[in-house]
A and B are shown apart, each in its own frame.
Chain A
Amino acid sequence: MRLRANAVGTSLIAIVLLALPWLLPAAKLNISLGTTVLLFALAASSVNILLGYTGLMAFGNAAFFGVGAYASALFAIHTVPSLLPAVAVGSIAGMLSAMLVGPFLIRRRGIYFSLLTIAFGQVYYFVAYRWNDMTGGEDGLTVQRPPLAAAKGVDDAQFYFFALAIFALFMVVLWYVLRSPFGLTLRAIGQNEVRARYLGIDTNRFVYFALTLSGLFAGTAGALYSMSINFAYPLLMDWHQSGDFVMMVVLGGTGTLWGPLVGATIYALGANVLSSATEAWQIAIGALFVACVLLFPRGLLGLGSRSGGAAPQSLAMEAGAEPVALAAQGYEPVAQRDLG
């Protein structure tokens, strides 16, 4: 039954996404909004890999996203102006940027991990901000969207389908990865890392792989994003952007395959409608975050089902914290001492 429900849901999502280029103009919205939703969803999925499945509170994924954005823009400007190689370069750059900071991050958990992801994310931000000759500094980097093949340009609608194809590919990959032994290992770490360790799993190594995969997803999203808006700028890497991605995951439902897409849709639509309606749209977005956290912490997709990836509590599972004992107390101590 569950499988059939998932299949129906996925088909529905696929139909809506395919019809979006006709639906959006009907609603007097720009097709690029659809592209933004897809790319934010992909970036949010990169957070979801860490947060929803591996139980890591990552708060720095915008850095990998931004590295992907800059890498594809720089590639398109300085070498062959061709779309696919540029995006590929951005993907790989995003992955490498995660692999580079990975060794610093993998030994920590809980809020210490969050702090480190914020801090190391800012490293990339400041490099982009200060390396004027390469990145254009604060002004950012303007890039002409390169053609897909031959010298034919790609218009916004065509780019939407290009982004959709890559998004679909990555979601299929993610679906398979999550069902593979590797994905199950990640979920095991997310649910109870100590137990996973006792089973002989080198959890730090798997956290590193999860980070690498996350960097690949974020980098790809970023690469496509700079190609979509013809622009790469430092604020893409700022921790505020990371926070937005995390929020999208939570809005949609952590640890669900389509949660990030749902969250990204709400976020992008909300920002679009609000920013044209009022100057102070940041206040509304902030209020949305606060309301979501207080009122429906499981996210929209988490409302109906109790299962679906790692349950939110599992994120708190620090060493030695027994889930049963915690439930009995009705309170979860933060176990700071165990964090070191």
Chain B
Amino acid sequence: MIERLAPEVVNGIVLGSFYAIVAIGLSLIMNLTGTINLAHGSFMTLAGYLAFAIMSRGGSFWVALGGAALLTMVVGVAVERLFIARLYKRIPLYSLLLTFGLSLIAEESFRLIWGPSSVPFAVPTNLQGSTALGNIVLPTYRLVIMGALVIVITALLLFLYRTRLGLRLRGAVQDPDMMAALGTNTRVLYTVNFAVGVLLAAIAGIFAAGLLGLQPTMGNSLLMPAFITVVIGGMGSLIGSIVGGLLIGLTVSITTLYLPAASEIVMYVLMAVVLLVRPRGLFGEAGIFG
């Protein structure tokens, strides 16, 4: 029993960490600027393809990870400066539509450049195979992902809660005008914030490419669970995103074990249940609308 369940639990935690990390990126951007970044999935896919390109030119996996993540972040900063920043003064609908348009362009571009089917994204051989913990055998790559994502989330929390820049970001979420009045350049802050969100997406995208296979729609397939994660965790809460992500990941993978047909719908059921019991989400703060 435990031998059968344990890999699914690990699977669920890995999946959940992906959802969490994508959801945190989305949340950061949403909380500060009100932008629902529908291009978030495109950044994940882009990072995957860039890593693939670096590796196919002889770079190692870790070089590809760092290089592609940074390049994707640069693209993210350019997109924010060139397009999204123009819309901060407008209602959120416009940035939603803008990122929607960008994601259409991105997905089709990936298809044109790298083809419609998945490309062979190979993780290094020492990360393949499996590792035995007692009499439980687990895939090594999943354990590596788990470790890496834990490090990333910890680093992010340290950045937000232990650095001055993090403090300013959190301050700007509460009151951007006051932050500006106190002498912080909030335009730069918005860009930094967007870059951090994209960086998280990029890291998740590169690891996901080795796990799920790399194709033009890869990122978008992770985007919807991330939205659900934000809703379940409660908008505006990073802890909520982490807990929500893990909750969804575990629920999905355990459902896959016992009732495969319901594996996609189960997270929506979970969302509906959470919203019925707690309309603001698990860790969301109460507002006048609920």
Binding site for B on A (CB under 8 A): 51, 57, 59, 104, 107-112, 114-116, 118-120, 122-123, 126-127, 129-130, 239-240, 243, 246-247, 250, 279-280, 282-283, 285-290, 292-294, 297, 312-313, 315-316, 319, 329-334, 336-340
**In the complex, which residues of chain B have a beta carbon less than 8 angstroms from the beta carbon of A286?**
101-105, 108
Interface size on B, residues (CB 8 A): 58
Q: List 20 A-B contacts (CB under 8 A).
A: A57-B96, A108-B290, A111-B30, A111-B36, A111-B92, A112-B289, A115-B36, A115-B227, A119-B231, A123-B272, A126-B264, A280-B112, A283-B109, A293-B98, A294-B86, A297-B90, A329-B177, A334-B34, A337-B174, A337-B287
Are A57 and B92 in contact, CB atoms less than 8 angstroms apart?
yes
**In the complex, which residues of chain B have a beta carbon less than 8 angstroms from the beta carbon of A115?**
36, 227, 230-231, 235
Nearest Cβ distance between residue A52 and chain B, in whole angstroms?
11
Decide yes or no: A337 and B285 within 8 Å by CB, A283-B108, A286-B108 being known contacts: yes
- 3 A-B pairs with the lowest CB-CB distances in the bound complex, closest first: A340-B287, A289-B101, A334-B34
B224 touches A (CB below 8 Å) = yes
A18 to B286, CA, bound (A): 52
Are B34 and A111 in contact, CB atoms less than 8 angstroms apart?
yes
In residues 87-132 of chain B, which contact A (Cβ within 8 Å)? Answer: 87-94, 96-98, 100-105, 107-109, 112
Nearest Cβ distance between residue B274 and chain A, in whole angstroms?
10
Are B92 and A288 in contact, CB atoms less than 8 angstroms apart?
no
Residue of B nearest to A129 (CB): B264
A116 to B34, CA, bound (A): 15
Are B101 and A287 in contact, CB atoms less than 8 angstroms apart?
yes
**In the complex, which residues of chain A have a beta carbon less than 8 angstroms from the beta carbon of B94?**
250, 293, 297
- Interface class of chain A by DSSP: helix
Q: Residue B287 contacts which of A114, A250, A319, A331 (CB distance < 8 angstroms)?
A: A319
**In the complex, which residues of chain B have a beta carbon less than 8 angstroms from the beta carbon of A112?**
235, 289
Q: Residue A126 contacts which of B89, B268, B289 (CB distance < 8 angstroms)?
A: B268
Decide yes or no: A123 and B231 within 8 Å by CB, A297-B94, A337-B287, A339-B289 being known contacts: no
**In the complex, which residues of chain B have a beta carbon less than 8 angstroms from the beta carbon of A247?**
97, 100-101
Residue of B nearest to A120 (CB): B268
**In the complex, which residues of chain B have a beta carbon less than 8 angstroms from the beta carbon of A332?**
89-91
Given contacts A130-B261, A319-B289, 5 further A-B contacts (CB under 8 A): A57-B96, A119-B231, A130-B265, A287-B105, A331-B88
A208 to B177, CA, bound (A): 34
Decide yes or no: A289 and B100 within 8 Å by CB, A282-B107, A297-B94 being known contacts: yes
A126 to B255, CA, bound (A): 15
**In the complex, which residues of chain A have a beta carbon less than 8 angstroms from the beta carbon of B173?**
336
Nearest Cβ distance between residue B42 and chain A, in whole angstroms?
10
Are A338 and B288 in contact, CB atoms less than 8 angstroms apart?
yes
Are B105 and A282 in contact, CB atoms less than 8 angstroms apart?
yes
Q: Residue A104 contacts which of B109, B261, B272 (CB distance < 8 angstroms)?
A: B272
B7 touches A (CB below 8 Å) = no
Decide yes or no: A330 and B36 within 8 Å by CB, A115-B227, A294-B83 being known contacts: no
A332 to B236, CA, bound (A): 18
Nearest Cβ distance between residue A323 and chain B, in whole angstroms?
12
**In the complex, which residues of chain A have a beta carbon less than 8 angstroms from the beta carbon of B271?**
119
**In the complex, which residues of chain B have a beta carbon less than 8 angstroms from the beta carbon of A313?**
91
